[in-house]
A and B are shown apart, each in its own frame.
Chain A
Amino acid sequence: MVAITRVKESIYTPAEKAPEPNLGSEIIPKERYISKEFMQLEWDRMWSKVWLIGCREQEIPETGDYITTDIGPESLLIVRGEDGKARTFYNVCNHRGNQVKFDECGNSRTLQCAYHFWEYDLTGRLINVPDEQDFTQGCPKDQLSLKAVKTETWGGFVWFNLNPDAEPLAEYLGVIPQHLDPYHFENMSMVMNVTVDWDCNWKTSVDAFNEVYHVQCIHPELSYTIDDVDIQIDLYERHNRYLVPFKTYSPRLNEDLQEVPEALADELRAIGMNPDEFEGRVPEIRRAVQEYKRENGDKLGIDYSQFNDDQLSDDYHYMIFPNITMNVMAESMMMFRQRPHESDPNKMYYDVTMYVTVPKTGEAIAAGFMGAAGPPLPDHEHVKHGERSLGLVLDQDSVNLPHVQRGMNSVAYKGLWISGQERRIRHMHKTLMDYINGEYANDA
């Protein structure tokens, strides 16, 4: 059988199990997933109070680069200023309410509304009003400039918070930078950027990525590459994580595999190991991968020095409250941003972005992984559910979720009946209800 051993010492990212809070065992009312009243409460007390990822810094590298991003009923405009700073504004002109930018991204010297050419500079200040003398009440610049939103950066991402009294981002993120800085997301390159319209509540999606209980049913293929049983779950203040052993197989298979499963063999070949020459037992592969990467970091062009051994093989999966779930590997990161629909609790936007660390050796580049300058920024695709494959694993999840949402709307269903291995869901609801109940209201 598989026996997972874990590292005991931390290098940078703590490996220790966090103390377990008592979160109770009550049913989680389904109304949180289907009711418009609760959706409004979420907006008023949570979405408008928390730090959210707006875009990748890489998406607005030059002065005047901008991107628009929607969260619930609001559209935000994120702009790179002449001082190099990213700023976020409500995407609305204070003249007649037109959106300043309609397109997803672009570059402009100033921010000019297309309706009557009111013009703002890159700091949001109103600088030009055609026929200004015709406004008998005047056009006071301090009142009519674009409404700015708190903006900070971490991990190569631009974050914003609609609450003008919000705590600093670092305070909000809590343990997250300490845990994830060793991965250097800021140096990773984005290789995929897709938004999918999903027919489910944003939490239905977050929940699906915060438990591995479903793996045995929905993703049977993963039984041959991951251990979905020996999971370490850590619940922090707002955020949480679980550590999933990869490069191994599931104890649920209930057998001693004698041959390296094909999917696992393929993963070994991808890093230059030869599965045919592997002389150990299959459960020893995970450790062998850790040792191989430790010894061959230079050859692979990846700096593994800030990782513990488990991080070289495993998925350190984090949830940054409320809507970021990320599969974090030593060389890559797969991030899902779940955004609420503007009006319908039964719908959401599922943003799938993928990032890789560009190997730093000529050899790795010559091996065809990617060009020396790293991959070009991918175009953003926006598709409806089912229009585009996201790969087998994510397709398997996406088939199921609309049916979960339909089921939750049934009069026969009362709410979520949560197991121990699903307790990250309960923890997320604890944080959510703390916001709803005003526990974080005096944070600033």
Chain B
Amino acid sequence: MTAPAADIPFRFVAKTTDVEPGRTKCVPLEGRNVLVIHMPNGGFKAIENQCSHEKKSMEGGRIRAGKIVCPHHGANFDLETGKAVSAPAVLPITVYPVKVEGEDVLVQLIEPPKKPKNPFAIPGVQGF
């Protein structure tokens, strides 16, 4: 997971009762679309609601074994690290640090991981 920047405040995103266990809820917040995830075994996760494959919403995606499954083409992402763990996705998604205070779910809107502008660009190779 991207290291939480200490100076980014935690913001209220949902009440714990707003999302049932195993379900997701998309909340627009400061220009982001935060997908709040109530894990089936308790606890909360939050991600940017955009699959890294085709940029589609992952709202309603199934939560299985610590991963979210994109409802469109089945890409799996680890909700701890954001890493793509199955095709067709390769790039990670943004995982927002979460804390729960009483009934409030709070998130830190960290910056998303950088995506290459040129899909053909190869790290360290000039001219491509």
Interface residues of A (CB under 8 A from B): 191-192, 217-222, 225, 262-263, 266-267, 270, 331-332, 334, 354, 356, 369-370, 375, 389-396, 399-400, 403
Contacts and interface: CB of A to CB of B under 8 A. Distances in A.
Contact of B90 (A222, A331, A354, A399): A399
B53 interface: yes
Given A191-B125, A354-B128, A389-B123, A218 B87 contact: yes
Contacts of A403: 87
A399 B83 CA distance: 13
A217 B116 CA distance: 18
A217 B117 contact: no
A214 to B, nearest CB: 9
B31 interface: no
Nearest to A266: B117
A403 B85 CA distance: 13
Nearest to B123: A389
Contacts of A354: 122, 125, 127-128
B105 to A, nearest CB: 31
Given A220-B53, A395-B90, A192 B125 contact: yes
Contacts of B55: 220
8 contacts: A191-B127, A218-B88, A225-B119, A370-B127, A391-B125, A392-B90, A393-B119, A393-B120
Contacts of A391: 116, 119-123, 125, 128
Given A392-B91, A396-B88, A399-B87, A369 B119 contact: no
Interface of B: 53-55, 73, 87-88, 90-91, 116-123, 125-128
B122 A400 contact: no
Contacts of B88: 217-218, 396, 400
Contact of B127 (A219, A267, A369, A395): A369
A220 B55 CA distance: 9
* Secondary structure type dominating chain A contacts: helix
Contacts of A396: 88, 90
B122 A389 contact: yes
B119 A192 contact: no
Contact of A192 (B54, B91, B116, B128): B128
A220 B126 CA distance: 24
Contacts of A218: 87-88
A262 B116 CA distance: 11
Given A334-B120, A391-B121, 12 more contacts: A217-B73, A221-B119, A262-B117, A263-B117, A263-B119, A266-B118, A354-B122, A354-B125, A375-B127, A391-B120, A393-B119, A400-B88
Contacts of A389: 122-123
A191 to B, nearest CB: 6
A334 B116 contact: no
Contacts of A221: 119
Contacts of B125: 191-192, 354, 391
A356 B117 contact: no
Contacts of A262: 117
Contacts of B87: 218, 399-400, 403
